[in-house]
Amino acid sequence: MATYHLKTPLAKEDLAQLQSGDIVLLSGIIYSARDAAHKRMVDALDKDESLPFDIKGAAIYYMGPAPAPTGYAIGSAGPTTSYRMDAYAPRLYGLGLGATIGKGRRNPEVRDAMQTHVGVYLGATGGAGALISRCIKSAEVIAYEDLGAEAVRRLTVEDFPLLVINDAHGGELYVTPTLS
């Protein structure tokens, strides 16, 4: 297990060196988007429209924040369950998405897309939304404002602590060896 300090946009060379179980301290710009926003993004792609941000090397955090308390950029910002975005993730990895961030397992199609397109899935600690929010220095809604907490946000993060769950080589932290 190793610790990496990475910055966005994520380079394929950096993603390729990661192994499941590694720790990533991520800094730079990431984007939050959940179910409804993913559906709108894929619908836009189907109409040959552009996405609300440059997908190449981007990281999407599956999160809908609580309202920001006075003096903070964002409220509690814990991860949501990732499998709800599995129908959309392979297409986005195919367009150059570098990483997704959430909690829980990904389906085989998403894991295959990460291997084919050199992407990773990073786990954020569930139940630690208030602590995670301290790594978010700014938050701005950039698309689908009508979705409220599920709107797409541009987040500036600093040393956001993450764990590599799925790497670009087929490794998965959640797989447990069978005991004989």
**Catalytic center residues:** 38
- Could you give the dihedral angle defined by the CA atoms of residues 51, 23, 8 and 58, in that order, rounded to the nearest 10 degrees? -10
Cβ pair 172, 57 in contact under 8 A = no
- Could you give the dihedral angle defined by the CA atoms of residues 19, 135, 101 and 1, in that order, rounded to the nearest 10 degrees? 10
23 closest CA partner among 146, 126, 164: 164
